[in-house]
Amino acid sequence: MPLSGKAALVTGGSRGIGRAIVQRLARDGAQVVFSYQSNDDAADSVVEAVRAGGGAAHAVRADQGDLDAVRALLDTATDRLGGLDILVNNAAASEPAPIDDVTEADFDRVMTINAKAPFFAIQHAGRTMRDDGRIVSISTLNTVIPGPGGALYTASKAALERFTAIAARELGPRRITVNAISPGAIDTDLLRSTNPPEALALAETYSALGRLGQPADIADVVAFLAGPDSRFITGQNLRVTGGYLI
């Protein structure tokens, strides 16, 4: 198991892509702490699934929109794991709205969850992570294919991509790699709840592989970036889209 003995923190790990990441890292041998916002049953089911596969995962309830809660999560994860080797910034908020309809509260919440909280998570990791660590942040293809209604989401993820590039420079001397992944259309409950069936069918036709992505498609790339084989890759944004953009 390539991640045996490694300690990992995944934000937003109870559903969708986050759940797949937690399960994959644990299957590869990592001890995983993951956060979730409010769904205790979903979090418990992830823990049970990981344990059934012989792995170890712990759920911590934390609102990514509350910076004090994020700091408490980081401290709790580091203490429980006895250190930190892997950080995955996955938790995100998407509240599509035309610019004209965006409120100050909307702006603050999306920017806090998608950019501010990951920034300070990266800062914490830089201070506490062991040498040869791995930081992976989940961005989005929408930073290069923006659409109406996505101003906050797209801008917040673009900020996260810049944090990734600069952190890679700053943490490189300690052999800590920092990378981002930009998924395309991934078949999750969130995708299906925010898009009509015809939009999903169109996304399949745009993909060179002719299908929507699955959460495991992203989790597998996270596992690669978190593992030893990616040791010379840093400061990159991998577009995992099935060829949606070539």
Query: So which residues are the catalytic ones?
Result: 153
Length of the chain, please? 246
Measured distance between the N- and C-terminal CA atoms of the chain, rounded to whole angstroms: 33
Q: Residue 233, Cβ neighbours under 10 Å: how many? A: 14
Q: Residue 132, Cβ neighbours under 10 Å: how many? A: 13
Rounded distance between C-alpha atoms, residue 222 and residue 211, angstroms: 20
Q: Which spans in 85-150 are helix H?
A: 104-111, 117-128
Contact 175, 130 (CB under 8 A): no
Contact 118, 156 (CB under 8 A): no
Q: Please report, for residues 87, 99, 173, 225, 234, the alpha-carbon distance to residue 179 in angstroms, rounded to integers and kept in the order given.
A: 11, 29, 15, 8, 6
Contact 92, 180 (CB under 8 A): no
Rounded distance between C-alpha atoms, residue 14 and residue 187, angstroms: 16
